[in-house]
Copies of this chain bind each other. A is one copy, B any other.
Amino acid sequence: MASRRHEIVQIAARLFAECGFGATTIRVIADEAHILSGSIYHHFDTKDEILHEVIRDAVTFLRDSTTQISKSECDAERKLVALIRLSLDVHARDHQAYSILYNERRLLRQRDGFEYVAQAKGDMYRAWQAVLQDGVAAGLFKPNLDLFLTISTINRMLNTCADWFHHDRIYEHRIGPFSLDKVVAFNLDFILGAIRHPKRISQPIPRQDSA
């Protein structure tokens, strides 16, 4: 069956996320699967094929969920809240794949065969853009918001936050534990504080996921 193959994919996902794709060798993956390096090539043709298997479903899921939220029926602020929650939730669902998608973004942008990643990122950018544009037009967000800088900043914030929460935290000794709920709440406060229309700054934040 494909079960052994999937086992190898999971081992590779962990190693790619922890050490990076370039720094993870076929031999180490094989070691952790308790087989020899040559045997990996019975399951996969190349190292790249393993990377595809690690990230492909994650890319599709995030793109589909993002566009679905942007096309839902609620107001722009609830959509934004749902998008922020989604960004942090998917990392909880499969933090290794999403961590790799962010940290290997340069590689994924240039490597032959990975064009679908850039394509999906383009789709997601346009979904965020539509949501923010709506919110500005409806007077929910600051009127003079630079959409590109805002989307770029929020995405970098959420990606690096999730990466810290699910990975870097191991190395941080000076801090106590944070729950995912607390981290989500912090990011909602921070981001909405930054982009809400000044007149709405003290309104309660819609905490429910709307998707």
**Residue positions of A touching B, CB distance < 8 A:** 20, 22-23, 106, 109, 146, 148-150, 152-153, 156-157, 160-161, 164, 168, 171, 175, 178, 182-183, 186-187, 189-191, 193-196, 198, 201-202
Distance to closest chain B CB from A209 (angstroms): 21
Contact A178–B156 (Cβ < 8 Å): no
Taking the nearest CB of chain B, how far is it from the CB of A193, in angstroms? 4
Interface of A is mostly: helix
Q: Chain B residues near A150: list those with CB within 8 A.
A: 190
Q: Is the CB of B161 within 8 A of A148?
A: no
Which chain B residues lie closer than 8 Å to A109 at the CB level?
171
Instruction: Known A149-B178, A156-B157, A160-B156; judge A189-B194 contact (CB<8 A).
Output: yes
The distance from the CB of A187 to the nearest CB of chain B, in whole angstroms, is: 8
Is the beta-carbon distance between A161 and B153 smaller than 8 angstroms? yes
With A146-B186, A150-B190, A153-B187 known, 9 other A-B pairs at CB within 8 A are: A20-B22, A22-B23, A148-B175, A152-B164, A153-B157, A153-B186, A190-B195, A193-B194, A193-B195
